[in-house]
Structure 1
Amino acid sequence: MRTCLVLSALVFLASCSGCRKSQAKQLAAPDCILVEKDFGSDGTVPITVDVVAEGLEVPWGLAWLPGGDALVTERPGRIRLLRNGALQPAPVATVNIASSSEGGLLGIAAHPDFASNRQFYVYVTNDVQGSTRNHVERWTLSEDHASATFDRVIFGDIPASKYHDGGRIRFGPDGMLYVGTGDAREPDNAQSLDTPSGKLLRLTPEGEVPSDNPFPGKPAFLLGIRNLQGFDWKDRDTLYVADHGPSGELLRRGHDEVSVVRKGDNLGWPTLYSCEASEGLVTPSLTWDEAVPPGGAALYTGTAIPEWKGSLLIGSLGAKHLHRVVFSQENPRQVAQHEVYLRNTWGRLRETIMGPDGHLYVTTSNCDGRGDCTARKDLILRIRR
């Protein structure tokens, strides 16, 4: 009898989920595009892909340094140096990490004053007194860039889990450090200001809460996020955010999303789904029925591919392509065009970032246990005309 009741409840919930999706379409925000089949049409702008480096293992983040060098994180815990377009054989440093499916050594960012202090930051999953947590560490690079020393943890106690660990860190145009976190498989935490889970955090370079944060005394800059790995700035006050959708929670799947946000915004997880609209919550500008999900995201600021100027470029993992999103000039939250590049050619794409040479750089993530890890292992790619 108990089994019958459980099965009946599941059938009812599945039925309600379908009703909710139907209702969502009735309540859909007019500026939201729902892609119901595939991911989009193939892009028509001609591009060339160069392999800059190979032999990496899940290169998760890339930070450019003054002079053209770059630091690359490998998720198993190594920081590597890219110099003159060549990957140096010896790691700059090895970081202790906890065993975690999606955690490890993740995002990396160079201090805005790196030229004078040689400081950089990494997002790390580690064991803290028997508990797995994420935290942001600060390191100092040697003058010759061949080694690095640990300084301190500037912000810790970010909940970690096997999945939904977030991990992208970037300095904003205001000189503050922005940290994308995941909900650590506790969806409701995304709506709580008492935990850093499911947020975009904003910190000073010392790890303190800025006095002008939208929620006084709190590190949260945005809330209602599921698993944030991709974001960039349209301008000083406006960000593009590419967030992961559900993978079974609340009987929902897919619907990764791209949103246009400002300080204090609530992206609605786990309340909003697909193109639903609700007062006080940000409806995405673009979402897909099928799971993408997004890796990194970068605003194209170069001139090598002029047609891409001002576009948002998003690396996709499961969908295995580079997605270009063009926003309307008349309505900044509305997508005017979106298209697919590199479809099923380089596999899973993770970091997406502009280089100092004006080209877009993308890393593959084929050796993360979910892709096809060949003898060349993971790559760093440069996208040019």
Structure 2
Amino acid sequence: MRASHLLLSSLVVLALSASACRRSQAQGTASPQDCVLVEDGWGADGSVPFTVDVVAEGLEVPWGIAWLPGGDALVTERPGRVRLLKGGVLQPTPVATLRTTRTAEGGLLGIAAHPDFATTRQFYVYVTTDASGRDENRVERWTLSPDGATATFDRVIFGGIPSATYHDGGRIRFGADGMLYVGTGDARDPDRSQDVKDPAGKLLRLTPEGQVPQDNPFPGSPAYLTGIRNLQGWDWKDATTLYVTDHGPSGETMRRGHDEVSVARPGANLGWPGIYACETREGQVTPSLTFEDAAPPGGAAIYTGTAIPEWTGSLLVGTLGSRHLHRVEFSADAPGRVARHEVYLRNTHGRLREVLMGPDGHLYVTTSNCDGRGDCGPSKDRILRLRR
């Protein structure tokens, strides 16, 4: 009787194992060389030496930076102020103050200068605001005065981007093709990310006038990448290859963590909310790097300078909850495969939001310690420059 019971139990175990195997094969899991899963923490500390300069302080959640010809910059503060960094000095009076709808992750977010700013004096902002009694995210265009002291509203070039307490996206950048790229969030409705007609949970691509380019991957749609949860960072490896960071789930469908870095091409589907961690699914992008613990990522930039040559070509990602700068080096032989990743500035400057290269060839990073989730302190938030 006992032997029969053991035999039956063994058969049940085998059947369950086979079923689990079939489910795994059906859903798919990336192999270790294709997807790196960091199961504990975020990685080893990096050993490349550099110096951190405080360029400006006294800011309140400096969310985005737009470099201007000559080296000055416009900086957004999430409560609704546009500030001017002139000659390396933060000017005390805002260039403009925008009306925003204050939510946990909304407000005045990304900023980008027109590719022909020297002629047009135009810049673009991504802002959460009240439109006819309803909150939305939208992209507005403004014009900076000749003396740089004030700015005037021009028009809304793209509106109707869903807004929620969390997952508002917000980064905007012009590509080398002259088009405006807009990172959005799923506005806490994950299924919107898979609908190419819905601007939520996407990387959008627009003309400077807010129109849909004729060569977009989905005809008539501004969507450039789909399947995104909350996009705040990306950069271009080349004209058709992007490194993209995205926030993993924080309870949706009983899942948590697993923020990710992915390699994507026009029209790619990054898999939210369908795939998780290193899972694979036909027609969707498995991440190159994902973390079991929540980071989550802020801005991201490829290091193109020469001051820290060990970093050249690497993706640098600011992180919020994990409070560090993450360097990701991709394989030269397999562009989608991570060759190395490591941690810098661990718990030294707090939450890191914007990451971008400056016209001087140095990397710039903003802190986000006054966003209600960090230690604001008397100096408030800062703009940092990383150099040798």
TM-score by length of 2: 0.93
C-alpha distance after superposition, 1:160-217 (max 9, x if no partner): 0000000000000100000000000000000001210000000000000000000000
Check if 1:85 corresponds to 2:88: yes
2:327 counterpart of 1:324: yes
> Compared with structure 1, are the counterparts of its residues 25 and 55 closer, same or farther at alpha carbon in structure 2 (3 Å cutoff)?
farther
Q: Give the C-alpha shift of residue 85 in structure 1.
A: 1.1
Aligned equivalents of 1:307, 1:344: Cα separation in 2:
22
Contact 2:40 2:292 (C-alpha < 8 Å) held by counterparts = yes
Of 377, 380, 386 in structure 2, the residue corresponding to residue 377 of structure 1 is 380
The CA distance in 2 between the partners of 1:21 and 1:335, in whole Å, is 27
Structure-2 change in CA distance of 1:318 and 1:20 (3 Å):
farther
Q: Does the residue aligned with 1:323 lie in a helix, a strand or coil? A: strand
Deviations 1:240-262 (A, max 9, x none): 10001101101111000000101
Relative distance call for 1:26 and 1:350 in structure 2 (3 A) is same
When the two chains are superposed, the root-mean-square deviation of aligned CA atoms in Å is 1.6
**Partner residue in 1 for 2:9:** none
1:123 maps onto 2:126 in alignment: yes
Residue 340 of structure 1 aligns with which residue?
343
1:198 alignment partner, one of 192, 201, 209: 201
Percent identity, please.
74
The residue that corresponds to 1:27 in the other structure is: 29
Q: CA deviation at 1:99?
A: 1.9
**How far apart in 1 are the matches of 2:22 and 2:384?**
41
Question: Using a 3 Å threshold, how does the CA distance of structure 1 residues 104 and 330 change in structure 2: closer, same or farther?
Answer: same
**Amino acid of the residue matched to residue 85 of structure 1?**
G
Structure with greater Cα Rg: 2
Q: Equivalents in 2 of 1:302, 1:272: separation in Å? A: 35
1:116-175, Cα deviation, whole Å (9 max, x unpaired):
101000000001111110000000001111110000000000000000000000000100
Q: 1:42 is paired with a residue of what secondary structure?
A: coil
* Cα shift readout 1:7-64 (whole Å, capped 9, x = no counterpart): xxxxxxxxxxx99998899722440000000100000000110000000000000000
Q: 1:161 to 1:62 in 2, by over 3 A?
A: same
CA contact (8 A) 2:300 2:317 kept: yes
Q: Quick one: distance in 1 between partners of 2:26 and 2:349?
A: 35
Q: TM-score, normalised by structure 1?
A: 0.94
Q: Does 1:138 align with 2:145?
A: no
The change in CA–CA distance for 1:93 and 1:274 in structure 2 (over 3 A counts) is: same
Aligned positions, number: 368
The superposition leaves residues 94-130 of structure 1 with CA deviations (integer Å, 9 ceiling, x where unpaired) of 0110121100000000000001101000000001111
Aligned to 1:229: 232
CA contact (8 A) 1:178 1:201 kept: yes
Provide the secondary structure at the position in 1 that maps to 2:232. Answer: strand
- 1 CA distance for matches of 2:85 and 2:25? 50
Among 202, 207, 211, the residue aligned to 1:208: 211
Q: Residue 40 of structure 1 corresponds to which residue in structure 2?
A: 43
C-alpha deviation, 1:333, in angstroms: 0.1
Matched residue, 2:15? none
Aligned partners of 2:367 and 2:381 also within 8 Å: yes
Amino acid at match of 2:346: R
Q: Once superposed, which parts of structure 1, at least 4 consecutive aligned residues long, lie more than 3 Å away?
A: 18-26
Give 1:141's aligned amino acid: L
Work out whether residues 260 and 287 of structure 2, in 8 Å CA contact, stay in contact via their aligned partners in 1. Answer: yes
Structure 2 counterpart of 1:280: 283
The question of 1:73 aligning with 2:76 is answered yes
Identify if the C-alpha distance between structure 1 residues 136 and 21 changes in structure 2 by more than 3 Å, giving closer, same or farther: farther
Q: What is the distance in 1 between the residues matched to 2:29 and 2:341?
A: 23
**C-alpha separation in 2, matches of 1:104 and 1:114:** 24
1:269 to 265, 272, 275: 272
Q: Distance in 2 between matches of 1:331 and 1:295?
A: 25
From 166, 172, 183, the counterpart of 1:180: 183
Gaps of 5+ in 2: 1-19
Which residue does the alignment assign to 1:15? none
Q: Which of the numbers 156, 160, 163 marks the counterpart of 2:159?
A: 156
Q: Determine the C-alpha separation between the residues in 1 that align with 2:40 and 2:251.
A: 19
Paired residues of 2:258 and 2:291 also in contact (CA < 8 A): yes
Distance 1:29 1:367 in 2: 40
Q: Distance between the aligned counterparts of 1:164 and 1:356, measured in 2?
A: 30
In the other structure, the counterpart of 2:103 is 100
Task: Provide closer, same or farther for how the CA distance between residues 88 and 336 of structure 1 changes in structure 2, counting only shifts above 3 A.
Answer: same
In the alignment, is the contact (CA less than 8 A) between 2:28 and 2:281 conserved in 1? Answer: no
